[in-house]
Amino acid sequence: MTRYITLLVVFFLALSESFACEVCGCSASSAGLGLVSGFRNHTLGLRWSEASFEGAGEGQDVGAQDAFHTYELFARYHLSSRWLLAAGLPYRRNVRQASDGDRLSQDGFSDPRLLVGYVLLDQQQLGKSGKLYLEVQAGAKFPLGRYNSDIHQENLPENFNTGYGCFAYLAQANAVLLMGKAGLSWSASAQFNGRSTDDYRFGRQLTSSLLGFYQLQPAGGWLFIPLAGLSVEQIGADRYPTGLSVHGTGGNGGFALAGVNVRYRDWQIAFAARLPAWQSYSDGKVDARTRLTLELSYFF
């Protein structure tokens, strides 16, 4: 029973989703919902994530609003008790509502990702009641999404593309400490972007989260996991082909996070909201708004 519950714990940041902060041209990262599904070995699911931003400070972009939606098919396949594969195929829709009323949008498939994972600790006993799970993953994003190096001609910046036009290299770690029905979940991820087809380089992205959760098991095969915590991110500045940094890109922020997982037998639905606690994006010219994630998973 302990193994069953432990491997149902949510991992935030298990698959990092990149969002563009395009009032200013600043990258920002938001997490998706991940699930360590060792009890059913394999997972297939659909995820919707949304991040929105609004222009702040002085200038013509004050009041402009951007919304970035990602719809992703994801899978997790356990090759053995230690090795696993994780993959995601995202579709993105980026919408800008300018302060003058103009509405601009870009949509299309984004860059797919593939990661290989290894379980370092599988329910390692800690004290009398503690159980620790730890895994690491490494992989890449492939430049198959649409990238238009002339997107400025449409009055949109580089990060409004649905693809990055480059290979990106991914690394992450996920851990869960279970103490009875309560526990802690920690995740961290990094994305390092190569040069795009026009030698533009998007900034690297670092994210981490720490969550507390509690598991409720009423009768009838139901499982409820409310959770709350904090997620943080740090985004490097973009670079021109000359190596000079792009003005108004990069930043950092922290988000208070709350959500719930509801599972019934082989199906699970998860929801999370992230509210900005502090932030500094694009030299203060843009404000991040509440971020939302909704996920449906099937275990087999």
Which tokens is 186 given?
């920690």
Q: 58 pLDDT band (50/70/90 cuts)?
A: low
- Using the Cα atoms of residue 79, residue 1, residue 258 and residue 296 in order, give the sign of their dihedral: positive
Show the domains of the chain with their CATH numbers.
2-58+66-299 (2.40.128.130)
> Closest Cα to residue 5, out of 211, 269, 183?
183
H or E, element range at 4:
helix 2-6
Query: What average pLDDT does range 211-235 have in this prediction?
Result: 92
Taking the C-alpha atoms of residue 165 and residue 145, their distance in angstroms, rounded to an integer, is 7
C-alpha dist (Å) from residue 279 to 14, 59, 62, 94, 282: 22, 19, 17, 21, 10
> How would residue 24 be classed by pLDDT, with cut points 50, 70 and 90?
very low
Provide the percentage of residues in the chain whose pLDDT is more than 90.
Answer: 63
CB of 282 closer than 8 Å to CB of 248: yes
Q: Are 169 and 140 in contact (CB under 8 A)?
A: yes
Q: Band of the pLDDT at 22, cuts 50, 70, 90?
A: very low
Are 168 and 206 within 8 A, CB to CB?
Answer: no
What is the pTM assigned to this prediction?
0.86
Query: Hey, what's the torsion of the CAs at 171, 46, 74, 32, to 10 degrees?
Result: 0
- The most confident of the ranges 63-67, 86-90, 96-100, 149-153 is 86-90
Query: Is pLDDT at 157 greater than 60 in this prediction?
Result: yes
Whether the predicted pLDDT of 25 surpasses 50: no
Residue 19 has what pLDDT? 40
Helices (H) and strands (E) in the chain, counts: 1, 16
Q: Is the confidence at residue 81, as pLDDT, over 60?
A: yes
Q: 109, 124 in Cβ contact below 8 A?
A: no
What is the chain's mean pLDDT, rounded? Answer: 85
DSSP result, 18-43: EEEETTTTEEEEEEEEEE--TTTS-E
Q: Which residues contact 161 (CB under 8 A, 6 or more apart)?
A: 20, 106, 145, 146, 147, 148, 151
